[in-house]
Amino acid sequence: MDKKKIFILVLLVAPILHAYGWGERGHMLVASVSYTQLSEEQRAIVMELLSFHPDYNDWIEEYKSWRDEVEEGRFLMMKASLWPDVIRDPNNPNHRFHRPEWHYVTYKLHFPNAHNTDLPSERNVVGTIDFVKSKVFNEDLEHEVRAMYLAWLIHLVGDIYQPLHNASLFNATYPEGDRGGNLFFVRVKGKGAKLHSVWDQSPGKGSNFALIKSQGEKLIATTPKPGAAFDPRAISLESFELAKTIVHQNGALRGSDRMENAPELTGEYVANMKQLAGKRCALAGYSLSQVLSKLPVHAIPFEHNDGDEDIAELEL
């Protein structure tokens, strides 16, 4: 097979490996909840770091339309939360920083009781969270690199709370796994969809920053903070259990490997899904604020270079 055909095949296959974590709204909710929990000093250091991000100027330009409705720091954290998904696009100038394997971990769901939650040796979201955190906290790194790792950290803490980023279904239909629900089709209100996508969108759709801020405040009011310190491995196992018991209904959830044969999700299932998704986003926001609250607070701003930042030589 020639290189051109291989490249086309990769483009066709890549989208089904593991889709986005939460959709835009879910990740923005996580960021907004986290921002609310941070002190003014902690918010300032996060904003200062994000000011070195390669997309910062674009974000600030967009913020002009929202400055009367949301705080600048909240807006920046919301935009940063989306960046690891934005750079999936091969045409994005920062696509070289895309790392698809960072978004998920493949624990095996195999009903009735052949599940496997051994941590894979391959790079995955569990180990990557600690890795990117170490980079964000490393004051010897270029600020631009730390800013990109910060965007990854904000995003991945959200991803690990999404049940289907921590479980793939294995059985006779899916001997190689269903790719976190990306090959498992269902219907919602008559429309066929990947189970993974349905859960991605369960916190809601749309990216109205003011509405997401309000939604986050409501979630905070109804979601108690966890007592334990954030532990990526523990949260990934918790998400796996939710994938087993809630998402897949202990093996009872009906689906199809073909869109045209996909069965309808019940109204009760959809309602429970939305409720759980909101809670998971709130919990992720709490965990993120717990991590970010430990960032060293500087008395003076970081020093910017004159002119635009050149990230051409930067690597993650």
Q: Is the pLDDT of residue 147 over 70?
A: yes
pLDDT band at 297 (very low <50, low <70, confident <90, very high): confident
Is 2 among the domain residues? no
Per-residue pLDDT reduced to its tens digit, 8-35: 333 333 334 455 568 899 999 999 999 9
pLDDT at 296: 84
Is 307 among the domain residues? no
Which is higher by pLDDT, 315 or 263?
Answer: 263
> Tell me, what CATH number does 132's domain have?
1.10.575.10
Is 161 among the domain residues? yes
Sequence letter at residue 202: S
The number of C-alpha atoms within 13 Å of 315 and in the hemisphere containing its C-beta is 1
DSSP 8-state symbol, 120: P
pLDDT at 16: 40
Q: Tell me the average pLDDT across 92-104.
A: 96
- For the ranges 3-17, 134-148, 198-212, 254-268, which has the lowest average pLDDT? 3-17
Is 281 among the domain residues? yes
Query: How many domains in the chain?
Result: 1
Sequence letter at residue 103: H
Is 133 among the domain residues? yes
Helix or strand or coil: residue 90?
coil
Is 191 among the domain residues? yes
Is 308 among the domain residues? no
Is 284 among the domain residues? yes
In terms of residue numbers, what domain contains 150? 13-292
DSSP the chain: --HHHHHHHHHHHGGGTS--SS-HHHHHHHHHHHHHHS-HHHHHHHHHHHTTSTTHHHHHHHHTTTTTTS-HHHHHHHHHHHHHHHTTSTTSTTGGG--GGGG---PEE-TTT--B-PPPSS--HHHHHHHHHHHHT-TTS-HHHHHHHHHHHHHHHHHTTSGGGS-EE-SSS-TT--TTTTT-EEEETTEEEEHHHHHHTTT-S---HHHHHHHHHHHHHHSPPPSSPP-HHHHHHHHHHHIIIIISGGGT---BSSGGGPPBPPHHHHHHHHHHHHHHHHHHHHHHHHHHTTSPPPSSPPPPPSSS---TT---
